[in-house]
Amino acid sequence: MEVLVCVKRVPMVGGRIVVTADGQDVDTRMSGFTVSPHEECAVEEAVRLVERFGGRVTVLTLGPPAAADQLRDMLALGASRAVLLESDGREWGPIATAGAIVDAMRGAASAPSAPAAPAPSAPAAPAASAPPAPAAPAASAPPAPGCPYDLLLFGNEAADTGDYQVGVRVAHALGLPCVTGIKNLEVADDGASARARREYRGTEEVFDIPLPAVVSVKEGINLPRYPSLPGRLRAKRATIEQQVPPWHPEGLRKEGLRVPAGESKRAEILGHGADAVPALVALLNEFGVLS
Partner 1 sequence: MRVLCLIEADGGGVADVSLRALTFARSLADAQTAAGAVPVAGRESWLHEKAPSGVPDAATTPPGSGAGAAGEADGTDGAGEVIAVVFGGADAVPVGELSAYGVSDAYAIESPHLGGYAPQAWARALAGLAAELPAGAVVAAGTDHGGEVMAHVGAITGLPVVANCVSAGPAGAGTLRLVRQRWAGSLLEDAVLEASPALLTVAVDAVAPAEADAPVATTVQSYRPEFADADLVVRAAESAERSTGVSLATARVVVGGGRGVGGPDGFGVLEELAGLLGGVLGVSRVVTSEGWRPHKQQVGQTGTRISPELYLACGISGAIQHMAGCQSAKHIVAVNTDPDAPIIGHADYAVIGDLNQVIPALIAAIRARRAGA
Q: Which of 224, 236, 222, 221 is nearest to 76 (CA)?
A: 236
Q: Could you count the other beta carbons within 10 Å of the beta carbon of residue 13?
A: 17
Window 38-57: residues binding partner 1 (CB under 8 A):
38
Nearer to partner 1, 15 or 112 (CB): 15
CB of 135 to partner 1, least distance (A): 4
Q: Is the Cβ–Cβ distance between 117 and 144 less than 8 Å?
A: yes
CA–CA separation, 113 vs 104, rounded Å? 17
Among 7, 85, 95, 108, which residue interacts with partner 1 (rule: CB under 8 A)? 95
Nearer to partner 1, 13 or 114 (CB): 13
Asked if residue 240 binds partner 1 (CB under 8 A), the reply is no
Element (H, E) at 217: strand 213-217
CA–CA separation, 103 vs 216, rounded Å? 20
Asked if residue 206 binds partner 1 (CB under 8 A), the reply is yes
Quick one: which segment of 49-57, 74-82, 102-110, 136-144 binds partner 1 (CB under 8 A)? 136-144
CA–CA separation, 59 vs 8, rounded Å? 10
- Dihedrals phi, psi of 7, to nearest 5 degrees: -125, 160
Asked if residue 289 binds partner 1 (CB under 8 A), the reply is yes
Asked if residue 37 binds partner 1 (CB under 8 A), the reply is yes
Asked if residue 19 binds partner 1 (CB under 8 A), the reply is yes
Q: Is the Cβ–Cβ distance between 115 and 187 less than 8 Å?
A: no
Nearer to partner 1, 244 or 276 (CB): 276
Asked if residue 237 binds partner 1 (CB under 8 A), the reply is no
Asked if residue 244 binds partner 1 (CB under 8 A), the reply is no
User: Binding-site residue total for partner 1 (CB under 8 A)?
Assistant: 90
Asked if residue 205 binds partner 1 (CB under 8 A), the reply is yes
Asked if residue 112 binds partner 1 (CB under 8 A), the reply is no
How many residues belong to the chain? 291
Give 68's DSSP letter.
H
Asked if residue 32 binds partner 1 (CB under 8 A), the reply is no
Q: Could you count the other beta carbons within 10 Å of the beta carbon of residue 64?
A: 14
Asked if residue 17 binds partner 1 (CB under 8 A), the reply is yes
